[in-house]
Amino acid sequence: QVQLVESGGGVVQPGRSLRLSCAASGFTFSTYDIHWVRQAPGKGLEWVAIIWYDGSKKYYADSVKGRFSISGDNSKNTVYLQMNSLKVDDTAVYYCARGGSVTTYRDAFDIWGQGTMVTVSS
Amino acid sequence: SSELTQDPAVSVALGQTVRITCQGDCLRSSYASWYQQKAGRAPVLVIYAKHNRPSGIPYRFSGSSSGNKASLTITGAQAEDEADYYCISRDSSGDRYVFGTGTKVTVL
């Protein structure tokens, strides 16, 4: 079935790096935008980053710009979120979500993964 | 920077109607979508492009917008509608997105 599965979360010290993965199945991966969204414990949702369906555009929230990098590997149907210079404030559940495609509404995140927890702590 | 403001919490009697609002300048140029999130679960899309319902979302969920405000209405709220609700829109740059602050809906 159509699904996204995140992995790579864990506990990391401030200033260190972590790479999250989002594996897609059940749909043509290379035709959809993929987003990362996070949620700090007890807080609301925060949009983090997008990679366009064709990989041509990548955009980031101001809070992570310059530290996080989104990339995709069509051969593995996987999107990555490389997180560098991690801060305590980056502690959150990280979700990947499917956005739109060239033939569907671009701004609807219709499929979500189950999330992966990232804890930044010394 | 773009911001979307929602009331922190609303309550509704079982079977009654509740409206959740989302306000921000970026709504003047971009449609809002709405997500339902139950405790410990991933968000679920309930309304996109202002008023469209994805397959499987009950008819009691509807969306509208005017000016800098978007609304999600639940007509005939059910116990299972108790959740947090978030709006989202593109921000003023048009390339990035911003979530609303979220509204906790309690069904009495």
Instruction: Give the per-residue pLDDT at A61.
Output: 97
Instruction: Give the per-residue pLDDT at B50.
Output: 84
DSSP calls for A1-41:
--EEEEE--EEE-TT--EEEEEEEESS-GGGEEEEEEEE-T
Instruction: Give the per-residue pLDDT at B91.
Output: 93
| B33 CA: distance to closest CA in chain A (Å) | 7
Sign of CA dihedral A4, A22, B26, A104: negative
Least confident of A101-105, A117-121, B94-98: A101-105
Cβ within 8 Å, pair A108-B89: no
Cβ within 8 Å, pair A108-B96: no
Task: Encode pLDDT of B22-64 as tens digits.
Answer: 999 999 999 999 999 999 999 999 999 889 999 999 999 999 9
A79 touches chain B (CB under 8 A): no
Nearest to A15 by CA among A90, A71, A95: A90
8 Å CB contact between B98 and A47: yes
Task: Encode pLDDT of B64-87 as tens digits.
Answer: 999 999 999 999 999 999 999 999
**Could you tell me which residues of chain B have a Cβ less than 8 Å from any Cβ in chain A?**
1, 30-31, 33, 35, 37, 42-45, 48-49, 52, 54, 84, 86, 88-90, 95-102
* DSSP tag of A60: E
pLDDT confidence band for B1 (50 / 70 / 90) = low
Q: Which residue of A has its CA nearest to B8?
A: A44
Other C-beta atoms lying within 10 Å of the C-beta of residue A50: 23
A27 touches chain B (CB under 8 A): no
Instruction: Give the per-residue pLDDT at A102.
Output: 78
pLDDT confidence band for A37 (50 / 70 / 90) = very high
**How many contacts does A have with B, using Cβ atoms within 8 A?**
64
Give the one of A47, A110, A115 whose C-beta lies nearest to B97's C-beta: A47
Among residues of chain A, what percentage have pLDDT more than 90? 90
